[in-house]
Amino acid sequence: MAPTGTLPSQHNELSHDSEPADARGPAHGDIGDILAFGLGMSTVMWVEGYLLRMPGDRLPGSLILITALVSLCLMGAWAGYATRRGAWAGLWAGMIAGGLNLLLLGALGHDLTNDHRILDYTTVWAPISVLTCGFIGWMGALAGSRFNPQGMGRIHSRGAVPIATAAATLALVMAGGMVTGMNAGLSVPDWPDSFKFGMFLFPLARMTGGIYFEHTHRLLGTLVGLATLIQAIYLVLRDRRGWLKTLAIAALLMVIVQGVMGGLRVTGHFTDHHSRPYMDPSTTLAIVHGVFGQLFLGFLVAIAVFCSRAWQSNLERVARPGYKTDAWLTTSLVVALALQLVLGSVLRHVGQVLFEHISMATIILFLAVFAGVRAWGMNQDDPILRRLGAALLLVVMLQVLLGVAAVAALGGGQPVKTPNMVQAVITTAHQTVGAILLCTALALALWTRRLRKAPQA
């Protein structure tokens, strides 16, 4: 959860607008580290459960639960090691994760729609779940804190919350890709309910086939919505920069719009009906929903960059002769990737513009390699730009390989009516790495402008 890169030793002092040094821990009353680990714990547990319970040869539920609890304990150990709070970090973060996990707890029963079961849920199982997660997190943090006897804080609280929110959103993008890859976008005919059940009460036992991919995507969307809400409240209360508070609120509005678009993609209009004849699914909204989701992820990454310790430091911009070229390259790359998002979404939903998609990929490859080589090779004195340049090169090469694999898996690149799991996984991996590529290019563009400038005439 640390910010990308480190600063040269001569620039370790912070400006008046930043937090105290990480080694001194979070500022008084700052719970950013706890919020970040709580969100991170939930994200890891949800993603593990999502992957291990996919339709097919599923693992036993008890084994999935044990895997989730082990991950919770390991995340607690990380919290105990990386913060000054010791075992308390794991306790509070675990309880936050347990609270977020209540969104899933209602699905574990056979049917919670009657009053008796809802009463048991709210008075017995919900508190037990929260306290159990807190206890396991506490145990992990107790062990992890033994490796941090000086009680040093190793994460930047202000930057950790946006990173955790962006990580949850990346998981959502992946899940959305599987919905499209499995052609499961209309498997659940109603919204915001699911087959007349409340979204959080639809039984897990009924999540089979395409219903599983569609409904779990909705559940992950609620997690991202809550994470964005937590981020907005935290940054509005803790950050001094008015423009950053505006960005945090804008992100919250964006995730609300994204959720509504996802629902209207299924129903076509606001309605309380639950059957297909009353619906008017929109392919156009499906395309816009997919594009907007990845742009939203990039927006969160930008907030994370702005909240990083390095960005808020008094590090001065260094004049470089090639600055204008670097600025043009990185900006052009981000714009090209945004256009490629649209082409890719149209290709996956409609089956058109394959030639245009491949042509744009060629342009992006050229821009990414050129920008990555320059960032990596011409900034020996700056680890941030060097690491981002190297990351850009690695990600774009992986994306090219996945693009070739996707075309081969689909027999020419066109979507198929009844895709199998292998085809869906390859195309989803291609889409997810594309989102990572966009975020990496955007981060490089922002840091180039933060750390470099054109020399004076």
With CA atoms as reference, report the closest residue to 96 among 250, 226, 289, 287. 226
Domains of the chain: 318-457 (1.20.120)
Backbone dihedral angles phi then psi of residue 381, each to the nearest 5 degrees: -95, 0
Q: Cβ(431)–Cβ(177) under 8 Å?
A: yes
What CA–CA distances, in Å, run from 330 to 325, 326, 390?
Answer: 9, 6, 14
pLDDT tens-place values along the chain, 457 residues long: 444 433 333 333 333 334 444 444 555 568 999 999 999 999 999 999 999 988 866 678 788 889 999 999 999 999 999 999 999 999 999 999 999 998 887 676 555 555 556 666 667 778 888 999 999 999 999 999 999 888 888 888 889 999 999 999 999 999 999 999 998 888 888 888 888 787 887 888 788 888 999 999 999 999 999 999 999 999 999 999 999 999 999 999 999 999 999 988 887 767 666 666 666 778 889 999 999 999 999 999 999 999 999 999 888 899 899 999 999 999 999 999 999 999 999 998 888 899 999 999 999 999 999 999 999 999 988 999 999 999 999 999 999 999 999 999 988 777 777 888 999 999 999 999 999 999 999 999 999 999 999 888 6
Strand partners, 313: 14
